[in-house]
């Protein structure tokens, strides 16, 4: 097999990620025929087909090359981070990713603090769920991310990433203010099994998982919502239409329209993390932002 060109591997990655030669060409700044020629050249050097064309997806040989491309990209991203650290890391740009409730409750105060300490650092924010953040971090398209997983649904990061636990975010039951369980100090999850629930898989814990945790059947949705906004879920609960469970961080401070209570059994926890490329050194501003995000996370949950 002839020596592989990292640029050809990057073209393969873009085609597979987009599932389209045309979309990859737009991203890379090439023409579609040029992208097709690069894939053909890669296949010639590999001596194997690397793509299925309809639909566009990687062959087993293509998957091997995608792993190699990811390794090259991760190594270059790690080197860039370390070089930034050696240059002092008090200016430049930080690309931050955060899930929705963190972007609302944690990030603004941390960025205000960072701007005071490092006024020459520009921060861009992308609202992303953990898996999307991990993908961007691995590709070198992001510098730092706030992510999460649950105690009963662990989501370990790829081995090239460094994850630091910031806080434990308890999952609480949320019911309308006039609900018959609203005056309890804690609510047993099983006692909510027959209630009206909202199906919001992108913004709330999946009902089948709650049934497994409570060891109680009956968790059925009578409302459906496709989205990732906890505020929408809270609106349904406040209107008396349903009950829900959600991490405490997702609750607005001082809400009088819903009642949130700790879960008795089983207790559920969301873990909040800061994640970045695993390197020996990191820019000072990046380390400072991670520390500021830690303090703001703890403050938001206190």
pLDDT of residue 185: 93
pLDDT in tens, 239-261: 999 999 999 999 887 778 899 99
Residue of 43, 67, 65 whose CA lies nearest to 53: 43
Q: What is the mean pLDDT of residues 125-139?
A: 92
pLDDT tens per residue, range 10-63: 898 899 999 998 998 999 898 988 888 989 888 888 888 889 888 889 998 889
- Residue 258: its pLDDT value, please? 93
Q: Is the dihedral of CA 212, 173, 226, 139 positive or negative?
A: negative
**CA angle, residues 51, 55, 56, in degrees to nearest 5:** 35
Compute the average pLDDT of residues 53-78: 85
Which pLDDT value is given to residue 2? Answer: 64
**What average pLDDT is seen over the chain?**
88
Say what the pTM is: 0.74
Q: Please tell me the predicted confidence (pLDDT) of residue 265.
A: 74
């Amino acid at each position: 097999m002839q020596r592989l060109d990292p640029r050809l591997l990057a073209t393969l990655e873009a085609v597979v990620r987009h599932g389209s030669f045309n979309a990859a060409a737009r991203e890379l700044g090439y023409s579609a025929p040029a992208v097709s020629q690069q894939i053909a050249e890669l296949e010639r050097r590999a001596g194997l087909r690397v793509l299925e064309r309809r639909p566009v997806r990687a062959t087993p040989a293509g998957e091997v090359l995608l792993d190699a491309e990811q390794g090259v990209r991760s190594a270059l991203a790690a080197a860039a981070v370390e070089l930034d650290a050696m240059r002092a890391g008090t200016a430049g740009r930080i690309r931050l990713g955060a899930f929705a409730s963190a972007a609302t409750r944690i990030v603004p105060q941390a960025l205000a603090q960072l701007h005071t300490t490092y006024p020459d650092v520009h921060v861009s924010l992308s609202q992303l769920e953990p898996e999307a953040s991990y993908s961007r971090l691995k590709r070198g398209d992001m510098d730092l991310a706030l992510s999460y997983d649950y105690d009963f649904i662990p989501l370990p990061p790829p081995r090239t990433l460094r994850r630091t636990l910031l806080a434990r975010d308890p999952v609480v039951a949320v019911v309308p203010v006039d609900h018959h369980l609203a005056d309890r100090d804690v609510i047993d999850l099983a006692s909510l099994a027959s209630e009206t629930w909202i199906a919001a898989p992108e913004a709330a814990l999946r009902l089948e998982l709650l049934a497994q945790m409570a060891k109680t059947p009956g968790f059925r949705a009578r409302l459906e919502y496709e989205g990732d906004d906890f505020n929408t879920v809270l609106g349904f609960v406040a209107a008396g239409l349903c009950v829900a469970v959600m991490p405490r961080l997702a609750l607005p401070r001082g809400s009088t329209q819903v009642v949130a209570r700790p879960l008795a059994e089983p207790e559920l926890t969301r873990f909040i993390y800061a994640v970045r490329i695993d390197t020996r050194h990191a820019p000072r501003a990046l380390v400072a932002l991670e520390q500021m995000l830690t303090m703001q996370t703890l403050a938001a949950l206190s």
